Chain A
Amino acid sequence: MQHAARLRRLCRLFLGDREEANEIVQDVFVRLQAASHGGGLVNDPGAWLTRVAINLCHDRRRAGWWPRWRRLTDGVEGARLATSEPTPEEAAIGRELADRVWQAFRRLSDRQREVFVLRRVEGWSTDDVAAALGLGAGSVKQHLFRAIQRLHAAAGDGA
C-alpha cells in the first residue's frame, strides 16, 4: 500500500494526470504479480516498482498522437472547475504560486522531470537515479541543475 501511494504520486508528477497515474500503478502491480508468478526474483520491490513505473510512463508519453488527442478531448469530467474550492494545501500555498511552479515543472524535459522527482521528491542518490534511468552521474547532475534553475525561478522569493 505504501508503494502504491508513492508510485501514484510519482506517476502523477511524471504525467500530470491523476487518472493516468492510477492506470499506470495498476499496470505496475499487475506486472509485479506476473513477475512473481513467473518465478522471477524481485530483490528490492521498491526500486523495481519505481523502475517499471518510470518505463510505463515513458511508454505512455511516447504513445502516438491519437491517444494524446483522445486524452485531451476526454478530460471534461476530470478537469478542475475554475470556481472549485481550493484544497487546504492550495489555500496555504496560494494559487498563483502553484500555477507558476506547475508551469515551470511542465516546461522541463521528461528527463529533467524524472531526475528532479527521483532526487528531490524520492530522495534517491545520484548513483541510484543514474542506474534507474540508464544515465551517467554527470548527466543526472546536469539535468537536476536545469530543473533547479527553472523551479527556483518559479518559486524563489524574487519570482
Chain B
Amino acid sequence: MSPCLSSRALMRVVAGGGRPEQRHHAGTCARCLARRRAIDAAVDRATTVLLGTEPPPAWRPRLRRYWLPASATVAVFVVLLVVGEVRLWRAVTPPATPPSDVAAFLADVSATLFSLDPDGPGAAAADDGVDGAADETSACAADPLGLTCARGDDAGGLAGDDMSALDASANGEETQ
C-alpha cells in the first residue's frame, strides 16, 4: 500500500488541517509535495480569476435558486387544492341515480306535459264519456294543480246530455 496521501488528505493539508503525520509526509515526500504544489497552483489560479475578472451575470443561478422552490411550493399547493376540492365535491354531490319513486313521478310529469300523441291519456279521457269522467275524478285527485282536471271537466261536460243534443242538431241540419 502506498504511503502517499490521497488528494482529499492533501487538500486538508493545504487548508491547514490534517493529522501531524500527514502534514509531515506532505512536506517530505517528493511526489506528495509536487501534488500539493499542483493543488496550490490550481487554487491560486482560481484566486487570480476571481480577482481579475468580472463575475458573469448572476441572474440565472439566482433565478434557479429562488424560483425552483417557489414553483415547487405553488405546484404542491395547487395539487392539494385540487385534491381537496375533488374530495369536497364527492362528499356533497347526491347520488347520480334518483330513487325509483322520484323517477316514476318525473316520468309521469314529462309524459303529461310533453305528450304529442292525440290518442294519449288526456284524449282517451275526453272520448270515453262516463268512464272518462270516472277517470277524471281519479286524475283530479292525483293532480292537485288542476292541470289535467281542467281539460277533463270540459270534456266531461260534453260527455253527457249535451253530447246527444249536439248530435241531434247536427242531424237536423243534414235533413234540411
On A, residues with C-beta under 8 Å from B are 9, 12-13, 16-18, 65, 68, 72, 75, 79-80, 87, 89-90, 93, 97-99, 101-106, 119-121, 126, 138, 140-142, 144-145, 148-149, 151-152, 154-157
Measured between C-beta atoms, what is the minimum distance from B42 to chain A in Å? 4
Q: Looking across the interface, which residue of chain B has its beta carbon closest to that of A115?
A: B15
Once the chains bind, are B39 and A148 in contact (CB under 8 Å)?
A: yes
Docked complex: B6-45 residues within 8 A CB-CB of A: 8, 11-12, 14-17, 38-39, 42-43, 45
Minimum Cβ distance to chain A for residue B26 (Å): 14
Contacts of B63 in A (CB 8 A): 72
Known: A16-B58, A80-B56, A87-B53. A144 touches B16 (CB 8 A): yes
A105 lies within 8 A of B53 (CB)? no
The listed residue (A17, A98, A140, A151) touching B53 by CB distance below 8 A is A98
Interface centre among A90, A106, A155 (most CB of B within 10 A): A155
Q: Any chain A CB within 8 A of the CB of B89?
A: no
The 8 A-B residue pairs with the shortest CB-CB distance, nearest first, are A89-B52, A145-B15, A155-B46, A141-B17, A151-B46, A144-B15, A156-B42, A101-B49
The interface residues of chain A lying within 8 Å CB-to-CB of B57 are: 75, 79-80
- Measured in the bound complex, the distance between the Cα atoms of B56 and A103 in whole Å is 9
Question: Given A87-B54, A99-B56, do A157 and B16 touch, yes or no (CB 8 Å)?
Answer: no
Q: Given A16-B55, A79-B57, A152-B11, do A98 and B49 touch, yes or no (CB 8 Å)?
A: yes
Main secondary structure on chain B at its contact with chain A? helix
Is there an interface contact between A145 and B17, defined as CB atoms closer than 8 Å?
Answer: yes
A141, B15: Cα distance in complex, Å: 6
Interface centre among A79, A99, A156 (most CB of B within 10 A): A156
User: Which residues between 98 and 143 of chain B lie within 8 Å of chain A, taking CB atoms?
Assistant: none
Which residues from chain A contact B61 at a C-beta distance below 8 Å?
Answer: 103, 106
Whether A148 pairs with B11 at a CB distance below 8 angstroms is yes
Q: Are the CB atoms of A104 and B46 closer together than 8 Å? A: yes
Q: Specify the chain B residue showing the minimal Cβ separation from A144.
A: B15
User: Are B51 and A9 within 8 A (Cβ)?
Assistant: yes
Contact A157 B38 (CB under 8 A): yes
Chain A residues with CB under 8 A of B54: 18, 80, 87, 90
B65 to nearest A CB, angstroms?
A: 9
Using Cβ atoms and an 8 Å threshold, which residues of chain B touch A156?
38-39, 42
